[in-house]
Amino acid sequence: MKKVLVSASILSSDFSNLYYDVNDVVLSGSDWIHYDVMDGNFVNNISFGVSVISSISFKINAFNDIHLMINEPLKYLDDFLKCNPNLITLHYETIEKNKIKNIKEYLNNKNVKLGISIKPNTDIPYDILNDVDLILVMSVEPGFGGQKFIDSSLEKIKKLAQYREKSNLSYLIEVDGGINQETGNKCVKVGADVLVSGSYIFKAKDRKEAINKLKELV
Ligand code: DX5
Ligand code: ZN
């Protein structure tokens, strides 16, 4: 059985009780914690930044997955490197693609992986797949939690998995937005490795069960 990784998005957590709520999800079995940084510019919402992430990321026993939905991400890269990240994901739409190889080298030298994310209407950038550790397929328009999964994301995941196989590459495929047991199952079947999930996990009556249901997908 294929091992599925779960990355819980803190956007749906109880901000008045942030560390405890996030740690509860870690103790319930979430492998990764997903931090959605939004600048009110690249997306129509403002979330949180370096100081909020740092208040959790050093204290939990999980892989720190930072998703930057911001314009000019390179300007802030060194700031986010101070947040104890394991992975930093930038949006393909916000960077010049000829810089990606160098960014990966820069991050990998600091033991941090590089992810590149694509919005629902962005085509797969095949020419950069050699230079990323992970590709994040957005299955909703970025900006808000609790939206409905866009079905056409499945075709993208499938193509990314086929291309990886054919080209002998090893990037991970992560999917983000509208993930629950049903949509997560479909994503894993076509090749996804990491499922980001916010509302489905944080609002579940039994978080352990919700996370296990995502992980048990074949
Ligand atoms: C959306 C964010 C997602 C979001 C997922 O812009 O990138 O990570 O929090 O939330 P759910 O799982 O509720 O769709
Ligand atoms: Zn996200």
Whole-number pLDDT of residue 2: 74
- Taking the whole predicted model, whether its pTM rises above 0.85 is answered as yes
**Active site annotation includes 36:** yes
60 class by beta-carbon count within 10 Å (0-12 exposed, 13-18 middle, 19+ buried): middle
d(CA 77, CA 100): 13
User: Is 24 an active-site residue?
Assistant: no
At 3 the pLDDT is: 87
Q: How many helices (H) and strands (E) does the chain have?
A: 8, 8
Pairing mode, strands 32-38 and 5-9: parallel
Q: Which ligand is nearest to the CA of 184?
A: 1
* Atom nearest to 45 CA in ligand 1: 6
Q: Which residue(s) pair with 61 in the sheet?
A: none
Give mean pLDDT in consecutive 10-residue pieces for the chain, a chain of 218 residues.
91 97 98 98 98 98 98 98 98 98 98 98 98 98 97 98 98 98 96 98 97 84
- Give the per-residue pLDDT at 216: 83
CB of 180 sitting under 6 A from ligand 1:
no
- Is any ligand 1 atom within 6 A of the Cβ of residue 11? yes
Backbone angles phi, psi at 18, to 5 degrees: -55, -60
For residues 155-184, b (16+ Cβ closer than 10 Å) or e, as one string?
ebbbebeebbeeeeeebbbbbbbbbbeebb
Mutate to test the pocket of ligand 1, among 12, 67, 176 (most ligand atoms within 8 A of CB): 176
Q: How many CA atoms lie within 13 A of 197 on its CB side?
A: 30
Nearest ligand 1 atom, CA 11: 9
State the pLDDT at residue 1. Answer: 66
- The pLDDT value given to residue 31: 98
9 lines ligand 1 (CB under 6 A): yes
Q: How far apart are CA 43 and CA 45, in angstroms?
A: 6
Q: Of the candidates 166, 175, 180, which has an alpha carbon nearest to the alpha carbon of residue 134?
A: 175
